[in-house]
């Protein structure tokens, strides 16, 4: 009792408001997910795609210096997984294989010998290799995480699941 | 036997079985292999009386009009109505869960809600109630170390109809919605004598609600919550004279707690019953389910667009007949078909169909005999629509006869035995058996002992489909389950302890990974464990449940945890038209591995769920019940499937509105029976 007035209604009201706030907070709990951005700083000749981190998957191809759109990912710890393509190397191989007749080597000494090629070995499909960061990044609710992919902090990723399901 | 020939044979047999019974004017009654005694162990003594059992199975015979006293009308008419029992083998270890418990559960899906009440049932999850199909799906059930790939060693029987996919051989966890469920019984240790293939590790019996007295019951439950989750459940039950209707529609849609975990489940269920004459009831049921969603992939390597789209429909026609307290008969025919589409071009149509007639005879006051005859078949078509390839598959069929004898030589002793003889188009003759006893000892102590030989036929997928590999020479799986249980009732307290051991031969296991995977029968597996629980009911406003299980599953540890504990405490109070209740429930799982041989350990699962409810009832029979479910209250990060983390704390806020007018007194002229 306080000043002849019961404090109970106030306590009840307070508890009700607190509960309502907690519920509203929970209903919108996806908004509390950490925001994650990935930037490709590996090399100016390397493209990156299929970037994933803690439940986020970016459907983008990042050239050197480009950043992904912000993704709302699950809280927790994970490495950044991605597929990389060395575009210059790919282009060089295709020129060597003669699949791009419009292109030739700037320095004729770089050109391969004019041996007839086994066309069966020529692969025109770009080979994207799976990599992941060596560092594992942690992000919690409400955090903003910017991950810079660099040549020093990446390794091949053999944990990619197989193609198989059902 | 070719698939078409097998299909035609089975269909013909099924129709032949059902037709004579349908033609009779004195048909048949209860569901499935139901029992003569109430399910509740507390009610055992009541079940011993001659009036028990089947008389309760015919709703029209239990109306208030017959029981109400003519003179001196009381303000309320109390009518004791026995419920149609779910299972006939009283020596089996079983857990019963009533539909209301499932409807009010904080768990995200029906199977998870059942697992909350049964510590020895493990059900995996991956999100907010969407389990999915194919790769990355959850909802797998494991009982006593048996589960299958994924669920084929646990049989679900819904309203007397075995429910599994014709090709993949397992049920769809998303297709079970609680709105129309009257009761669920989980039989641990399986029972292939009564239920046939797939009842290797356990049987989940589901019975739908039916109004027993004239009236109407309408319920709508709408809720909205985290991750744009919308849940809508609507049920309508009507009984008017000879006709009754049970119908429900349930929809769940969510964005999911991460990309790809969203989806939608829609399930419609309708049952129409007709009681043309006393003792005879004909029931037509149909359940249709449409499931859409995706496999989100592991959290470290999410998938993009791995969607599924599934339609399933189950239709059954049943006939229930009772002739006095000594004889009853039921017949049922069913077709369960499904169309599955996956993102990679996979397309399948599958069919499960069959029929069964079972007679329940009380040959003597101490002897109860169950005799049954039936047939079942599966077939389907599979194609890769992306590559334009069709996989040849061959269906299979079984014809069977089963029997069970229950002998009660002494008032405190029941002896139960049974056999099933079946012929399979793929595996010729198979013999199954079981034996058990049940002792009712002084002081409220019950002792159970049972041994059962169960089996499962290889699925079409395991024999023919390259997902990831197939083996057409697979043999059926067999298990021999032995369990011993003690149940003690002391006032409001129930204490139960069960120990079990299972010897399984020829279990079908996948090894390796695509493209070098193989699926083979393995030699011999032994599983043993113990389950115990304590339940306190009606202790003032408090209800308490605490149960745990421990098991040693040997080498095949994949998704078979070593230990599981479930607990809940519920407090409720009713004052006048108002009622409030709150419950705190939780689960702890230990020794969980993603792979066999104890590989890929998964951290212990632990979470707490909170449910708060308030209800207000009007005179007209309308009640309003707002509620709040807070799941994973402590915001733990946990997962059942490696790299498929469950959601953090999340909420569901809902309102349930029920229209359930109180029955008018029989002397007011409203009775129609």
Q: pLDDT per residue over B364-416, tens digit each?
A: 999 999 999 999 999 999 999 988 989 888 899 999 999 999 999 999 999 99
Instruction: State which residue of chain A sits closest to B296, comparing Cα positions.
Output: A55
Contacts of A156 in chain B (CB under 8 A): none
Where are any strands of DSSP class E within A87-128? none
Domain assignment of residue A56, yes or no: yes
pLDDT of residue A129: 93
- Is the Cβ–Cβ distance between B58 and B65 less than 8 Å? no
- Is the Cβ–Cβ distance between B240 and A41 less than 8 Å? no
Among A96-110, B515-529, B619-633, the range scoring the smallest mean pLDDT is: A96-110
pLDDT of residue B7: 46
Nearest CB partner across the interface for B651, out of A27, A161, A164:
A27
Which band of pLDDT confidence, cut at 50, 70 and 90, is reported for residue B85? low
- The answer on A16 and A38 residing in a single domain is no
pLDDT of residue A91: 81
CB contact under 8 A, A81 and B225: no
3-state secondary structure of B1: coil
- The answer on A107 and A143 residing in a single domain is yes
- The answer on A73 and A98 residing in a single domain is yes
Domain assignment of residue A166, yes or no: no
Give the C-alpha separation, A18 to B617, whole Å. Answer: 27
Which band of pLDDT confidence, cut at 50, 70 and 90, is reported for residue B433? very high
**Range 39-98 of A in CB contact (< 8 A) with B:** 52, 54-57, 59, 73-76, 78-79, 81
pLDDT of residue B71: 43
- Is the Cβ–Cβ distance between B549 and B496 less than 8 Å? no
Nearest CB partner across the interface for A55, out of B135, B255, B299:
B299
Nearest CB partner across the interface for B304, out of A30, A54, A57:
A57
Residue B26 or B315, more confident: B315
Domain assignment of residue A161, yes or no: no
Q: Which residues contact residue A47 at a Cβ distance below 8 angstroms, ignoring those fewer than 6 apart?
A: A40, A61, A62, A63, A84, A85, A87
Which band of pLDDT confidence, cut at 50, 70 and 90, is reported for residue B227? very high
Element (H, E) at B498: strand B493-505
Q: How many structural domains does chain A have?
A: 2
Element (H, E) at B67: helix B64-67
Instruction: State which residue of chain A sits closest to B468, comparing Cα positions.
Output: A164
Give the C-alpha separation, B117 to B95, whole Å. Answer: 8
User: What structural domains does chain B harbor?
Assistant: 3-67+80-668 (2.40.170.20)
Q: Is the dihedral of CA B102, B106, B109, B111 positive or negative?
A: negative
A133 contact B CB<8A: no
Alpha-carbon distance B168 to nearest alpha carbon in chain A (angstroms): 10
Element (H, E) at A93: helix A87-97
Contacts of B303 in chain A (CB under 8 A): 57
List, in sequence order, every residue forming a beta bridge with B333; answer none if it has no partner. Answer: B317, B355
Core vs surface per residue A56-78: b (16+ CB within 10 A) or e: bbbeeebebeeebebbebbbbeb
Which band of pLDDT confidence, cut at 50, 70 and 90, is reported for residue A21? low
B304 contact A CB<8A: yes
Q: Kindly tell me if the per-residue pLDDT of B604 is higher than 80.
A: yes
Q: What share of chain B is helix, strand, coil (3-state, %, to 5)?
A: 10, 55, 35
pLDDT of residue B410: 95
For A51, the domain range is: 34-156
Residue B594 or A15, more confident: B594
Assign 3-class secondary structure to B613-629. Answer: EEEEECCCCEEEEEEEE
Radius of gyration of chain B (CA): 24
Q: Average the pLDDT over B639-663 and give the result.
A: 92
Give the C-alpha separation, B497 to B548, whole Å. Answer: 10
CA distances from B347 to B7, B144, B341, B382, B386 (A): 21, 33, 5, 6, 9
Comparing CA positions, the residue from B287, B275, B270 lying closest to residue B213 is B275
Among A15-24, A125-134, B200-209, B540-549, the range scoring the smallest mean pLDDT is: A15-24
pLDDT of residue B83: 52
**Range 65-94 of B in CB contact (< 8 A) with A:** none
Task: Count residue pairs from A and B with Cβ separation < 8 A.
Answer: 93
Alpha-carbon distance A74 to nearest alpha carbon in chain B (angstroms): 7
- The answer on A105 and A27 residing in a single domain is no
Contacts of A55 in chain B (CB under 8 A): 258-259, 296, 299, 302, 645
B255 contact A CB<8A: yes
Domain assignment of residue A118, yes or no: yes
pLDDT of residue B77: 44
Give the C-alpha separation, B476 to B458, whole Å. Answer: 6
CA distances from B25 to B170, B272, B319, B498 (A): 37, 19, 11, 45
Query: Cis bond leading into A100, ω under 30°?
Result: no
Nearest CB partner across the interface for A27, out of B295, B467, B653:
B653
Alpha-carbon distance B392 to nearest alpha carbon in chain A (angstroms): 17
pLDDT of residue B469: 84
Element (H, E) at B191: none
**Range 305-364 of B in CB contact (< 8 A) with A:** 306, 342, 344, 346
**Can you give the length of chain B in residues?**
673
- The answer on A48 and A23 residing in a single domain is no
Query: Cis bond leading into B515, ω under 30°?
Result: yes
B628 contact A CB<8A: yes
Residue A161 or B281, more confident: B281
CB contact under 8 A, A26 and B259: no
- The answer on A17 and A38 residing in a single domain is no
- Is the Cβ–Cβ distance between B250 and B221 less than 8 Å? no
pLDDT of residue A27: 60
Q: Is the dihedral of CA B477, B96, B568, B101 positive or negative?
A: positive
List, in sequence order, every residue forming a beta bridge with B586; answer none if it has no partner. Answer: B567, B608
- The answer on A92 and A42 residing in a single domain is yes
Among B42-46, B134-138, B350-354, the range scoring the smallest mean pLDDT is: B42-46
- Is the Cβ–Cβ distance between B543 and B494 less than 8 Å? no
Q: What is the dihedral of CA B124, B127, B130, B135, to 10 degrees?
A: -60
Give the C-alpha separation, B287 to B282, whole Å. Answer: 17
Six token digits for residue A69: 């759109």
Six token digits for residue B107: 């768990």
pLDDT tens per residue, range A90-135:
887 777 777 776 766 666 666 666 555 566 667 778 889 999 999 9
Comparing CA positions, the residue from B181, B111, B193, B114 lying closest to residue B151 is B111
A27 contact B CB<8A: yes
- The answer on A15 and A72 residing in a single domain is no
Domain assignment of residue A49, yes or no: yes
Q: Which residues contact residue B553 at a Cβ distance below 8 angstroms, ignoring those fewer than 6 apart?
A: B145, B527, B560, B562
CA distances from A92 to A47, A112, A115, A122 (A): 15, 11, 17, 13
Contacts of A74 in chain B (CB under 8 A): 257-258, 299, 645
- Is the Cβ–Cβ distance between B237 and B217 less than 8 Å? yes
List, in sequence order, every residue forming a beta bridge with B289; answer none if it has no partner. Answer: B267, B312
Nearest CB partner across the interface for A76, out of B225, B514, B637:
B637
Give the C-alpha separation, A65 to A87, whole Å. Answer: 15
Q: Which residues contact residue A28 at a Cβ distance below 8 angstroms, ignoring those fewer than 6 apart?
A: B226
Contacts of B648 in chain A (CB under 8 A): 29, 75
Comparing CA positions, the residue from B627, B623, B552 lying closest to residue B591 is B552
Percent of chain B past pLDDT 90, that is, above it, reads 76
Which band of pLDDT confidence, cut at 50, 70 and 90, is reported for residue B620? confident
Contacts of B226 in chain A (CB under 8 A): 26-30
CB contact under 8 A, A79 and B300: yes
A120 contact B CB<8A: no
CB contact under 8 A, A29 and B303: no
CB contact under 8 A, A26 and B226: yes
Which band of pLDDT confidence, cut at 50, 70 and 90, is reported for residue B198? very high
Give the C-alpha separation, B183 to B447, whole Å. Answer: 24
- The answer on A104 and A51 residing in a single domain is yes
Domain containing residue A43: CATH number: 2.60.40
Q: Kindly tell me if the per-residue pLDDT of B252 is higher than 70.
A: yes
Instruction: State which residue of chain B sits closest to A51, comparing Cα positions.
Output: B301
Residue to substitute from B301, B630, B634, interface A, most A β-carbons within 10 A: B301
Classify residue B2 by burial, with Cβ atoms within 10 Å: 0-12, 13-18, 19+.
exposed
Domain assignment of residue A163, yes or no: no
Domain assignment of residue A40, yes or no: yes
Alpha-carbon distance A56 to nearest alpha carbon in chain B (angstroms): 7
- The answer on A49 and A130 residing in a single domain is yes
Comparing CA positions, the residue from B494, B490, B547, B538 lying closest to residue B117 is B547
Query: Cis bond leading into B320, ω under 30°?
Result: no
Six token digits for residue A129: 């290799």
pTM higher than 0.90 for the full model? Answer: no
Residue B135 or A48, more confident: A48
pLDDT of residue B638: 95
- Is the Cβ–Cβ distance between B130 and B254 less than 8 Å? yes
Residue to substitute from A55, A130, A160, interface B, most B β-carbons within 10 A: A55
pLDDT tens per residue, range B3-20:
444 444 444 444 444 443
Q: Average the pLDDT over B125-151 and give the result.
A: 90
Contacts of B468 in chain A (CB under 8 A): 164, 166
Q: Which residues contact residue B443 at a Cβ distance below 8 angstroms, ignoring those fewer than 6 apart?
A: B488
Mean pLDDT (chain B) is: 86
Among A65-74, B31-40, B176-185, B509-518, the range scoring the smallest mean pLDDT is: B31-40
pLDDT tens per residue, range B440-461:
999 999 999 999 999 999 999 9
Alpha-carbon distance B259 to nearest alpha carbon in chain A (angstroms): 7
Domain assignment of residue A164, yes or no: no
Residue B187 or B662, more confident: B187
Give the C-alpha separation, B100 to B115, whole Å. Answer: 15
Which band of pLDDT confidence, cut at 50, 70 and 90, is reported for residue B23? very low
DSSP class of residue A133 equals: E
Nearest CB partner across the interface for A159, out of B300, B467, B648:
B300
Q: Are strands B243-254 and B524-539 parallel, antiparallel or unpaired?
A: unpaired
CA distances from B122 to B114, B479, B561, B566 (A): 9, 19, 8, 10
Q: Kindly tell me if the per-residue pLDDT of B192 is higher than 70.
A: yes
Mean pLDDT (chain A) is: 81
pLDDT of residue B268: 97
Give the C-alpha separation, B543 to B253, whole Å. Answer: 32
- The answer on A117 and A136 residing in a single domain is yes
- The answer on A87 and A22 residing in a single domain is no
Element (H, E) at B7: helix B3-23
Q: What is the dihedral of CA B100, A26, B644, B348, to 10 degrees?
A: 60
- Is the Cβ–Cβ distance between B205 and B32 less than 8 Å? yes
């Amino acid at each position: 009792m306080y000043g002849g007035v019961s404090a109970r209604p106030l306590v009840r009201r307070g508890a009700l408001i607190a509960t309502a706030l907690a519920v509203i907070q929970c209903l919108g709990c996806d908004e509390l997910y950490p925001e994650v951005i990935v930037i490709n700083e590996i090399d100016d000749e390397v493209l990156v795609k299929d970037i994933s981190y803690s439940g986020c998957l970016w459907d983008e191809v990042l050239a050197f210096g480009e950043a992904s759109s912000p993704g709302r990912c699950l809280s927790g710890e994970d490495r950044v997984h991605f597929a990389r393509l060395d575009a210059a190397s790919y282009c060089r191989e295709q020129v060597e294989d003669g699949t791009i007749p419009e292109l030739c080597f700037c320095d004729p000494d770089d050109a391969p010998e004019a041996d007839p090629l086994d066309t069966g070995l020529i692969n025109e499909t770009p080979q994207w290799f799976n990599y992941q960061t060596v560092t594992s990044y942690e992000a919690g609710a409400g955090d903003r995480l910017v991950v810079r992919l660099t040549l020093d902090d990446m390794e091949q990723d053999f944990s990619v699941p197989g193609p198989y399901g059902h | 036997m070719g698939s078409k020939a097998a299909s035609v044979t089975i269909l013909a047999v099924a129709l032949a079985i059902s037709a004579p019974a349908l033609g009779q004017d004195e048909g048949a009654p209860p569901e499935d292999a139901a029992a003569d005694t109430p399910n509740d162990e507390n009610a055992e003594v009541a079940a011993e009386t001659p009036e028990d059992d089947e008389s309760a199975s015919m709703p029209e015979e239990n109306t208030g009009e017959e029981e109400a006293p003519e003179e001196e009308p009381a303000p309320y008419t109390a009518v004791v109505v026995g419920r149609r029992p779910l299972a006939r083998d009283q020596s089996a270890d079983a857990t019963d869960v009533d539909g209301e418990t499932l409807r009010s559960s904080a768990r995200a899906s029906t199977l998870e809600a059942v697992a909350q009440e049964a510590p020895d049932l493990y059900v995996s999850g991956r999100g907010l109630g969407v389990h999915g199909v194919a790769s990355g799906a959850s909802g797998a059930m494991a009982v006593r170390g048996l589960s299958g790939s994924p669920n084929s060693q646990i049989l679900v029987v819904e309203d007397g109809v075995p429910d599994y996919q014709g090709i993949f051989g397992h049920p769809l966890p998303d297709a079970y919605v609680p709105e129309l469920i009257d009761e669920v019984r989980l039989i641990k240790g399986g029972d292939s004598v009564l239920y046939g293939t797939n009842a290797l590790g356990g049987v989940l019996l589901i019975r739908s609600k039916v109004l027993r007295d004239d009236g109407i019951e309408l319920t709508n439950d709408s809720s909205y919550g985290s991750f744009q989750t919308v849940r809508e459940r609507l049920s309508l039950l009507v009984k008017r004279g000879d006709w009754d209707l049970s119908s429900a529609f349930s929809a769940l849609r969510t964005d999911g707690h991460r990309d790809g975990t969203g989806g939608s489940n829609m399930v419609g269920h309708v049952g129409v019953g007709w009681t043309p004459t006393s003792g005879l009831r004909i029931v037509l049921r149909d359940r249709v389910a449409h499931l859409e969603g995706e496999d989100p992939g592991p959290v470290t390597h999410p998938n993009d667009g791995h969607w599924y789209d599934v339609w399933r429909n189950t239709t059954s026609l049943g006939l229930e007949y009772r002739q006095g307290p000594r004889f009853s008969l039921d017949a049922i025919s069913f077709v369960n078909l499904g169309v599955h589409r996956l993102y990679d071009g996979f397309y399948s149509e599958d069919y499960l169909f069959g029929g069964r007639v079972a007679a329940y005879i009380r040959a003597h006051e101490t002897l109860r005999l169950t005799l049954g005859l039936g047939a079942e078949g599966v077939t389907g078509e599979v194609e890769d629509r992306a590559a334009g390839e069709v996989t040849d598959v061959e269906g299979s069929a079984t014809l069977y006869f089963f029997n069970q004898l229950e002998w009660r030589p002494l008032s405190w002793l029941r002896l139960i035995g049974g056999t099933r003889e079946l012929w399979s188009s793929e595996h010729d003759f198979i013999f199954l058996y079981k034996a058990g006893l049940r002792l009712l000892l002084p002081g409220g102590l019950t002792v159970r002992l049972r041994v059962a030989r169960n089996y499962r036929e290889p699925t079409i997928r395991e024999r023919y489909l390259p997902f990831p590999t197939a083996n057409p020479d697979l043999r059926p799986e067999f298990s021999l389950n032995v369990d011993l249980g003690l149940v003690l009732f002391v006032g409001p307290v129930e204490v139960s302890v069960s120990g079990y051991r299972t010897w399984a031969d020829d279990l079908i296991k996948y090894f390796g990974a695509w493209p070098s995977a193989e699926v083979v029968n393995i030699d011999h597996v032994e599983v043993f464990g113990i389950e115990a629980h304590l339940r306190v009911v009606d202790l003032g406003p408090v209800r308490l449940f605490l149960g745990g299980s421990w098991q040693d599953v040997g080498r095949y540890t994949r998704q078979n945890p070593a230990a599981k504990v479930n607990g809940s405490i519920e407090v409720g109070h009713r004052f006048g038209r108002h009622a409030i209740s709150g419950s705190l429930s939780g689960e702890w799982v230990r020794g969980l591995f993603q792979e066999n041989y104890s590989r890929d350990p998964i951290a212990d699962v632990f979470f707490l769920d909170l449910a708060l409810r308030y209800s207000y009832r009007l005179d007209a029979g309308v009640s309003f019940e707002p509620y709040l479910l807070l799941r994973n209250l402590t915001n733990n990060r946990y997962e059942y499937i490696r790299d498929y983390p469950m959601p953090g704390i999340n909420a569901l806020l809902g309102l349930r509105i029920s229209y359930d007018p109180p029955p008018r007194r029989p002397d007011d002229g409203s009775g129609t029976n």
